[in-house]
Amino acid sequence: MPLNQVLPFVSSAVMLIFTVSVLQRWFLKRKAHFLFWGIGLAMFGASSFAEAYFALGRWSAPVFFLWYLFGAVLNAAWIGHGSLLLLVRKRWVHALTALLIVGSLSASVLMVQAILKTNGSAYVGGIASASSTAT
């Protein structure tokens, strides 16, 4: 199996280990930043696993939805929010958390609308996009 097919599976396994470790800390210490970091790491792991699925040359609209939503749209915001919880005044925490949740839900709704318009028959395994083959 080529390296570009193996690495996404390795990345998924590493992210699973990190996610479990961080969420264990949250269960023990009940510090909100561990929870947000754990959720963000879980999103990254799901995205990495979706990439592994695609590396095998398969296509699935729901898997693409997970890959794009968790990998490109949400995970950095959730991990970053965990860091903000350590840095900002506590009076801002609730407003920022609400903004993150509303933004995440809005992005999810927009992604569902976009994925319903996705043409899976245009997918060609091993090629980044149809436009990348044009010279």
Task: Write out pLDDT tens, residues 35-66.
Answer: 999 999 999 999 999 999 988 888 788 888 99
pLDDT at residue 134, rounded to an integer: 46
Residue 3: C-alpha distances to residues 6, 110, 124 (Å): 5, 34, 20
Q: What whole-number distance in Å separates Cα of residue 42 and Cα of residue 20?
A: 9
pLDDT at site 97? 94
- Integer Cα distance of 135 and 132 in angstroms: 8
What pLDDT does 131 receive? 44
Model pLDDT, residue 120: 65
**The pTM is what?**
0.83
Q: What is the pLDDT of residue 49?
A: 93
Q: Which residues of the chain are under the pLDDT cut of 50?
A: 128-135
Residues 6+ apart with CB under 8 A from 7: none
pLDDT, position 135: 43
